[in-house]
Homo-oligomer: A and B are copies of this chain.
Amino acid sequence: MDIVEFVERSIGEWRSQRSVHHLAFSYFEEVTSTIHIIPVSPDDPEVIALCNSYEIDPQTITHPFRMTWEGESDWDEKEKVEGKTLLIPVPDADNSPRGRLLRDQGYAETIPAVAHYQIGEDGVFVLLTEYDRAMAEERIWFASDHIRFRVSMIKTSSGTGITTASFSSEIRSLS
């Protein structure tokens, strides 16, 4: 599977169940949300602007997409969990299983982050993002056309401590 197939299979509306494990405290957090993954034109002004901010040639990108999510956490029921981000894959070469993923907003911090992805022979998409003081690793794979799983973990930059791990089951909303 290459990045094009991965993005194409991801397009749509997903109902997500996410469990966050706060490892130091053996604490569980539960988040229920709706995720939309929508294709964006490579010519879109926001795509061009994001490429420019990373000094990436827009000719080398493929299949940009936008992800939005809206949901609720059992930690703070008053506060909505919501956000959106623009993502742009930049494969190392055509059909390469590796590349970079540009984002206009990181998950863990608000500074723009460039992440590196790799798609394994088993079809698992692995994404590594380095932040100032932390590193995020995400593993995403399809159990079927309509079920996607995602495991994320946040490590300290030194790599010794893993502070949180989370698991999402994402079911396609067929409507």
A residues with CB within 8 A of B: 15, 17, 19, 21, 23, 26, 28, 30, 32, 120-122, 124, 126, 143-144, 147, 149, 151, 153, 155, 159-160, 162, 165, 167, 169, 171
Contacts and interface: CB of A to CB of B under 8 A. Distances in A.
A143 B120 contact: no
| Number of copies of this protein chain within its complex | 2
B23 A28 contact: no
14 contacts: A15-B26, A17-B21, A17-B26, A23-B147, A23-B171, A28-B30, A120-B120, A121-B121, A122-B124, A143-B162, A144-B162, A151-B167, A165-B167, A165-B169
A28 B29 CA distance: 10
Contacts of A15: 26
Contact of A17 (B28, B149, B155): B28
A21 B23 contact: no
